[in-house]
Amino acid sequence: MDERLETGIVLTGTEVKSIRAGQAQISDAFVRIDRGRPVMYHAHIAEYSHGNMANHNPYRPRPLLMHEKEIARLAQEVQAGGRTLIPLRMYFKQGLIKVEVGLCRGKKKFDKRQTMKEKDEMREAQRTVRHHL
């Protein structure tokens, strides 16, 4: 991880209520800069349980709030290649919902191989332990 940024997020009323109820998940989410604006995609905020017909779409793209200079700098770094913007966590700060976004590097091929090797070793160790019990 190269850098972390705190950003605001544009939400509807039912989304805020759902997040307060703990119904948000950003594990598959990513941030892309579209037309000069950062937008978070694939974040799941469940429909509010007491909502009506006007409830929100759980997977809609959600704009993030950043300064213009930050957006320009991040867009340049992402375009240079090898980096991406990932939402790391969503939290409350003085009654507002914030998203911590990280500028990250992708894994190289040898890193992926190492990760796969470690997973295989763990799986084999678990099989051995399960077999002996």
Q: Which domain holds residue 45?
A: 3-106
pLDDT surpasses 70 at 1: no
* Cβ pair 59, 72 in contact under 8 A: no
Residue 48, classified by CB atoms within 10 Å of its CB into exposed (0-12), middle (13-18) or buried (19+), is buried
Q: What CATH number does residue 45 fall under?
A: 2.40.280.10
Looking at residue 106, its amino acid is: G
The string of pLDDT tens digits covering residues 6-59 is: 999 999 888 888 999 998 999 989 999 999 899 999 999 988 888 777 788 888
82, part of any domain: yes
Q: Please give the pLDDT value at position 86.
A: 92
- Domain for residue 119, yes or no? no
User: For the chain, how many structural domains are there in total?
Assistant: 1
In angstroms, rounded to a whole number, what is the distance separating the alpha carbons of residues 17 and 128?
46
